[in-house]
Structure 1
Amino acid sequence: MNKPISVSTLNVQIKSLLETTFIQVYVEGEISNITHHSSGHIYFSIKDESSTLSCVMFKGNTKYLKFQLENGLKVVITGNITVYAPRGNYQLLCNKIEPSGQGALAFAFEQLKNKLEAKGYFDGNYKQPLPKYPKKIVLVTSPTGAAIEDMKKVASHRWPLTKFILVPTLVQGEGAAFDIVNSIKYADKLACDIMIVGRGGGSIEDLWAFNEEIVANAIHEAKTPIISAVGHEIDYMISDFVADIRAATPSNAIEIALPDINEHRIYLDSLVNEYSNRMKSILFNKEQELLNMKRLFEQNSIETKFRFIQTEINLLKSSFKTDLSQKILSSQNELILLKNSMKNSFSAFLLKTQNQVDLLKSNFELNHPNKKDKNGFVQISKNNKIISLEELQIGDKIELQTPKYIASCTLNSLEQQ
């Protein structure tokens, strides 16, 4: 009969057997019961329809994860079996985890994109407009890459009036995301009009720093309008969605940020031509107005009127000379006729007037008061007014008047015959 072994010995033998037999496994399952320990380790299980397997990923390997582990996520794990001898438990020690069916980076991209979109980072309300004529632009990029040279070249030809400030930044590799974040925060304090964050082309791994959440947060929180210019036209980064403007390339970012000096030169030339043509038109119209006013003035000037009058006078003189004799003769005849007519009329007027005077004289002589004096006849007056006897009343004071005498009396009686 064999001698029994201790539990510890059995667990050690199992540990040795499992760990030497399952040195590297490649297993697919659905994550459940995930726990992120304060130490940085991640504990979870993977399962299928029938079984569950405990898993652990230590802190040293978690830093290589490109996406967030979540319950219900189907993953493919590369690792080895390890046994915890004191408890007799075995688990899968995870070295690498990939999302099932797609690459880790692509999944991480979509995962972070959905998360930030839900937080409103892509909302147009957060987008800031770019100034039309920026005075200062800060560049957050590598000082040695091709991108900075391309941007300098485009800027020198496009709009040389703008000042550029370079913030040297690590744009790929370990620690690049943190350096980008620090550079963005520093550049945001420089009071520039525009910030361009980006780099030239490269693989998805080279560009990955611009897909990190901390970079997205820094761009979202910046007060300076930001243009994201990462890689080539076909490359889309998380920074492109969060930034105020996305540029296809770093060179395109300069084209977006700066006005085109040649277009402005053409525009200025067109303004000069338009101004010149308009001034010519105005001057021509004013000149025509002056000419019309001059002609009108000449037509109505004193000199013109004098010339017209002189012409009329000359015509009259000529006509007068021609008809002078006839007019003088005619005038003489008219004067003779007028003289005779006036003489006859005056004689008739004198005769008529003499007759009227004679008639008045005759009437005066006939009606002279001296010839009206008859015995027994007087003129009755009252209050110096001639009055008839019928108008008197008893007691009236009256005057009886002849051409030579006036008698004052009082009427004592009045009888009707």
Structure 2
Amino acid sequence: MTILSVSELNEQIRSLLESHFLSLYVRGEVSRPTYHSSGHLYFTLKDEKSSIRCVMFRRDLQNVPFRVEEGQHLLLTGRIGLYAPRGEYQIYVKELHPDGTGSLQLAFEQLKKRLQAQGYFDRSRPLPSFVRSLALVTSQSGAALQDMLRIIQSRWPLVRVYVVDTLVQGKEAAKEIAQTLKVADSLEVDVVVVGRGGGSVEDLWAFNEEIVAQAIFEMSKPVVSAVGHEIDYVISDFVADHRAPTPSAAMEMVLPDQREWLVRIDELLEKLDHRIEAILGQKGAEVEHLLSLAKHQSPQRRLAFLSQQVEALEREMGQLFEMRLLYKERQLPQIRQSLEAVVHDRLKLKESELGHLMERFEMAMEAKRLPNKSAQIVKEGRVVSLEEVDVGDRLELWDMDYKVEVSVDAKTKI
């Protein structure tokens, strides 16, 4: 009879178990899962009648996208081994998957639930009415970038665009996207759009990683997530301030339509023109009325009255131009320089017309300062003395009642 030591017995049992159970598939419910500081996972797998201990080492556990939790039903792949110091056999797990649902779907639901509880989905900052600069975090070689640039060109080509290149799929994509988002947030931009075109769940998975969600949550700029197609939802959609179903739709969401705004600008300019013409017409009529009144008053009273009216007109005209500038600042901040030149030319024309009226008024005032029966000499639109008159000049003689056009045939000094 052979007498074995405990160690020898355990070694024979280990050899027997490992030779017969090199690879097996086991289904069961998780109990008492423990993530050890070493990076290994320990848990018990059980059914209605029995249970078995399981261990999954760190090198294999890092390939599992979801977190193992109490009560989950798992399907695992592994081998039987014996832990000799305690004489306990256990399953050394190589792979594990949710029983009845996909690993990625479970990981998605777990992370979504946890981030929602932490308030990551609560923020929704508004987008600016006019986006002057924009950062696009995407692959520089992807079709999504070309789609976005095409929409930008047709919709609002005035926007300044920064393309921040990044990987959008693969093992290193999530880490690079998170780093690139920080770069985009440091730029002088109004909005950041992060996204890519369509693909499989695995292709889009980088946007479901917690590191990307954390980077979006920490950004100071409004963020639009535009990943995949309309039916695709990723974690970044929930954390971002806004979600667009496609990258092209993101551009339509963020940027104004230049055709709509050109129509609005034309309407505003037309209203502004009508308002200015109405006010200038009213003021011109007031000047004509004042000139008429001046003929029926004494020189002193007429001078005092007209001085008051001139001051009032100056104030009102100043207010008119201030109102025009304020109106323009509030209503037309995006008019191009060419449109501003049109408005400026129209205003100069109206101001010139008013200037002619004021010039007539000033001439009338000059005439009033002359002694009775005296006339005012006007040469080429300005009042002159006889000393400035030359033979052959065409002149106008003004008094309060008449204007006479004359030609100088001779000039003699007295």
> Which TM-score band applies after superposition, normalised by the shorter structure?
0.5 to 0.7
How far apart are residue 44 of structure 1 and its match?
1.2
Equivalent positions of 1:2-81 (< 5 A) are 2-81=1-80
Q: Which amino acid aligns with 1:97?
A: L
**Residue 280 of structure 1, CA deviation:** 8.3
The Cα of 1:279 is off from its aligned counterpart by 7.4
Code of the aligned partner of 1:83:
L
- Aligned residue type for 1:115: R
Unaligned regions of 5+ residues in structure 2, if any? 297-414
Query: 1:191 & 1:24 partners in 2: Cα distance?
Result: 57
User: Does the residue aligned with 1:94 lie in a helix, a strand or coil?
Assistant: strand
1:189 paired residue among 170, 179, 186: 186
Cα deviations across residues 2-31 of structure 1 (Å, max 9, x unaligned)? 423343333223222222222222222222
**Residue correspondence of structure 1 range 206-285 to structure 2 within 5 A:** 206-274=203-271
Matched residues in 1 for 2:159 and 2:8: separation? 77
Partner residue, 1:122: 121
Report the alpha carbon displacement of residue 268 of structure 1 after superposing the two structures with TM.
Answer: 2.2
Aligned to 2:376: none
Cα-Cα RMSD: 2.8
Give the C-alpha shift of residue 277 in structure 1: 6.8
Q: Deviations over 1:259-296 (max 9, x none)?
A: 11111122223334555677788999999x99xx9xxx
User: Separation in 1 of the partners of 2:74 and 2:202?
Assistant: 20
Q: Determine the C-alpha separation between the residues in 2 that align with 1:31 and 1:187.
A: 43
* 2:104 equivalent to 1:105: yes
> What is the letter of the counterpart of residue 173 of structure 1?
G
Structure number with bigger Rg: 1
Query: Residue 240 of structure 1 aligns to which amino acid in structure 2?
Result: D
TM-score relative to the length of structure 2: 0.65
Q: Which secondary structure state, in structure 1, belongs to the residue aligned with residue 203 of structure 2?
A: coil
Amino acid at match of 1:88: G
Q: Secondary structure of 1:207's partner? A: helix
- Look up the equivalent residue of 2:37 and give its one-letter code: S
What TM-score, normalized to structure 1?
A: 0.64
* SS at structure 2 position matched to 1:206: helix
Select which of 153, 164, 170 maps to 2:161.
164
Structure 2 SS opposite 1:75: strand
SS at match of 1:181: helix
Question: Secondary structure of 2:202's partner?
Answer: coil
Separation in 1 of the partners of 2:263 and 2:6? Answer: 91
